[in-house]
Structure 1
Amino acid sequence: MKFIVAVITSALLLTGCHPNPLPLPRQAARTPTAQESLQLAAASQGQQQQYYLLQSAETALDSHQSQEAIEALKHVNRQQLSPEQQINYLIIQAQLALDEKQPQSALPYLQQAQSNNVALSADLQSKLQKLLAKTYFAMNDILPGLNNGSAAYQLATATDEKRQISLFLWQKLETLNPSQLRALQKNAATEAQRGWLDLMMTTKNLTLRNDNLLDAIKQWQKQYPHHAAQALLQNMGTRNSMLARPAQHIALLLPLNGDLGNQGRAIRNGFLAAYYQRQSVGYSPQISILDTTQDSIPNLYSKAVKEGADLVVGPLLKSDIQSLIASKPLAVPTIALNTVPNVGNISNLFFFGLDPDDEVQQVADKMRIDHRRRVLLMTPQDAWGQRIRAVFQPYWEKQGGVIRAEIQYHTRAQLANQLLDAFHLTASQRRYMSLRSILRKNPRFVPRRRDDFDAIFVVATPAMGRQIIPLLRFYYASDIPTYSTSQIYTASRQKDHDLDGVIFDDIPWLFTNNITLPASLMTVQQKIIASWPESYAAYPRLYALGADAFGLISKISQMSLLPNVGISSATGELFLEPNGKVYRRLVWARINNGKARLLSS
Structure 2
Amino acid sequence: MRLKLVSLLIILSGLSACSTTEKPTKNSDNVSNRTNALQNQATSAQSIYQLAQNRQGADKIQLLYSARDAAISEQNWPLLEKIGNELELTASVDQIQNRLYIAFAQKQQNKNDQALVILQSLDGQLTQPEHFAWHQFLTASIYASQNFPKKAAPYFFRASETATKNNIEIPQLNQNLWDNLKQLSSYALERFNRGSVIQQGWVNLGLYYQVYASSGVELDQAINNWRRRYIGHPAFSVLPEQDEMLTELAPINIERLVVLFPQSGPNERLGDALKAGVLAALDTQTINDTIFIDENLSTEEIAAQLEEIKPDFVIGPLLKANIDKLANAQTLIDTPVLHLNTFDGERISLQHYYFALNPEHEVQQALEHFLTKGYQKPMLLAPNNANGQRLVDYFNLQWQRYSETKPQIGFYNDKKDMPNTITSLLEVDKSKDRIQTVKALFKQEVENETRSRSDIDVIYILGDAIETRLIKPYLDVNVSTFADRIPLYASSKSHSKQIDSTDKGDLDGLYFTELPWMLDSQIKQHNLRQQYNSLWPEQIDISQRLFAMAYDAVSILHDIRQLSVMPGNQYSGLSGKLSVNTSGHIERMLDWAQYTNRRIKPVQLETQRPVPLFMQSAGDIQTIN
Partner residue of 1:74? none
Which residue identity lines up with residue 592 of structure 2 in the other structure? Answer: W
Which residue identity lines up with residue 281 of structure 2 in the other structure? Answer: A
- Asked if the contact 2:521/2:602 (under 8 Å) is kept, the reply is no
1:264-343 matches, within 5 Å, as 264-278=271-285, 283-293=286-296, 295-297=297-299, 299-328=301-330, 330-343=333-346
Deviations 1:148-176 (A, max 9, x none): xxxxxxxxxxx99x979959xxxxxxxxx
Give the SS at the match of 2:283: helix
Alignment partner of 1:542 is 2:546: yes
Alignment partner of 1:580 is 2:584: yes
Deviation at 1:581, TM superposition (A): 0.5
**Counterparts of 2:356 and 2:501, CA distance in 1:** 27
**Counterparts of 1:548 and 1:556, CA distance in 2:** 11
**Counterparts of 1:166 and 1:511, CA distance in 2:** 30
Give the SS at the match of 1:411: coil
**Counterparts of 1:220 and 1:372, CA distance in 2:** 50
**Counterparts of 2:597 and 2:507, CA distance in 1:** 9
**Counterparts of 2:565 and 2:535, CA distance in 1:** 36
Alignment partner of 1:484 is 2:490: yes
Give the SS at the match of 1:350: strand
**Counterparts of 2:404 and 2:511, CA distance in 1:** 18
Rg larger in structure: 2
Deviation at 1:418, TM superposition (A): 2.0
1:14-53 matches, within 5 Å, as none
Q: 1:327 to 1:216 in 2, by over 3 A?
A: farther
Partner residue of 2:253? 246
Partner residue of 1:355? 358
- Asked if the contact 2:511/2:593 (under 8 Å) is kept, the reply is yes
Q: 1:500 to 1:387 in 2, by over 3 A?
A: same
**Counterparts of 1:312 and 1:412, CA distance in 2:** 43
Give the SS at the match of 1:264: helix
Which residue identity lines up with residue 601 of structure 2 in the other structure? Answer: R
Give the SS at the match of 2:381: strand
TM-score, normalised via structure 1 length: 0.58
Q: 1:349 to 1:412 in 2, by over 3 A?
A: same
- Asked if the contact 2:383/2:414 (under 8 Å) is kept, the reply is no
Which residue identity lines up with residue 391 of structure 1 in the other structure? Answer: Y
**Counterparts of 1:401 and 1:539, CA distance in 2:** 40
Partner residue of 2:33? none
Q: 1:538 to 1:583 in 2, by over 3 A?
A: closer
Alignment partner of 1:375 is 2:402: no
Between Structure 1 and Structure 2, how many residues are aligned?
388
Which residue identity lines up with residue 380 of structure 1 in the other structure? Answer: P
Q: 1:436 aligns with which of 417, 434, 439?
A: 439
**Counterparts of 1:166 and 1:468, CA distance in 2:** 44
**Counterparts of 2:489 and 2:404, CA distance in 1:** 15
1:367-406 matches, within 5 Å, as 367-400=370-403, 402-406=405-409
- Asked if the contact 2:259/2:292 (under 8 Å) is kept, the reply is yes
Partner residue of 1:411? 414
Partner residue of 1:502? 510
1:420-499 matches, within 5 Å, as 420-476=423-479, 479-491=485-497, 492-499=500-507
**Counterparts of 2:410 and 2:434, CA distance in 1:** 24
Deviation at 1:384, TM superposition (A): 1.2
- Asked if the contact 1:503/1:591 (under 8 Å) is kept, the reply is yes
- Asked if the contact 2:252/2:557 (under 8 Å) is kept, the reply is no
Deviation at 1:345, TM superposition (A): 6.3
Q: 1:244 to 1:495 in 2, by over 3 A?
A: closer
Deviation at 1:344, TM superposition (A): 4.3
Percent identity over the alignment is: 23
Q: 1:213 to 1:342 in 2, by over 3 A?
A: farther
**Counterparts of 1:555 and 1:220, CA distance in 2:** 26
- Asked if the contact 2:262/2:318 (under 8 Å) is kept, the reply is yes
**Counterparts of 2:299 and 2:582, CA distance in 1:** 25
Deviations 1:550-596 (A, max 9, x none): 11111112212422111111111111111011111111111123332
Give the SS at the match of 2:334: coil
Partner residue of 1:513? 521
- Asked if the contact 1:494/1:594 (under 8 Å) is kept, the reply is no
TM-score, normalised via structure 2 length: 0.56
Deviation at 1:337, TM superposition (A): 0.5
- Asked if the contact 1:528/1:536 (under 8 Å) is kept, the reply is no
Deviations 1:226-262 (A, max 9, x none): xxxxxxxxx9x95564567411110000012321111
Which residue identity lines up with residue 531 of structure 1 in the other structure? Answer: L
Deviations 1:156-213 (A, max 9, x none): xxx99x979959xxxxxxxxxxxxxxxxxxxxxxxxxxxxxx999977x7xx5xx558
- Asked if the contact 1:242/1:560 (under 8 Å) is kept, the reply is no
Which residue identity lines up with residue 355 of structure 1 in the other structure? Answer: N
Q: 1:307 to 1:577 in 2, by over 3 A?
A: same
Which residue identity lines up with residue 251 of structure 1 in the other structure? Answer: V
Give the SS at the match of 1:558: helix
Q: 1:598 aligns with which of 584, 598, 602?
A: 602
Alignment partner of 1:571 is 2:575: yes
Deviations 1:507-550 (A, max 9, x none): 112224245x4xxx444444333433334766211110111011
**Counterparts of 1:448 and 1:241, CA distance in 2:** 61
Q: Which has the higher contact order (CA 8 A, sep 6+)?
A: 1
Deviations 1:61-82 (A, max 9, x none): xxxxxxxxxxxxxxxxxxxxxx
**Counterparts of 1:399 and 1:530, CA distance in 2:** 47
Which residue identity lines up with residue 432 of structure 1 in the other structure? Answer: I
Deviation at 1:445, TM superposition (A): 1.2
**Counterparts of 1:341 and 1:490, CA distance in 2:** 30
**Counterparts of 1:257 and 1:216, CA distance in 2:** 52
Q: 1:289 to 1:514 in 2, by over 3 A?
A: closer
Which residue identity lines up with residue 356 of structure 2 in the other structure? Answer: G
Deviations 1:130-162 (A, max 9, x none): xxxxxxxxxxxxxxxxxxxxxxxxxxxxx99x9
Q: 1:472 to 1:212 in 2, by over 3 A?
A: farther
Which residue identity lines up with residue 544 of structure 1 in the other structure? Answer: A
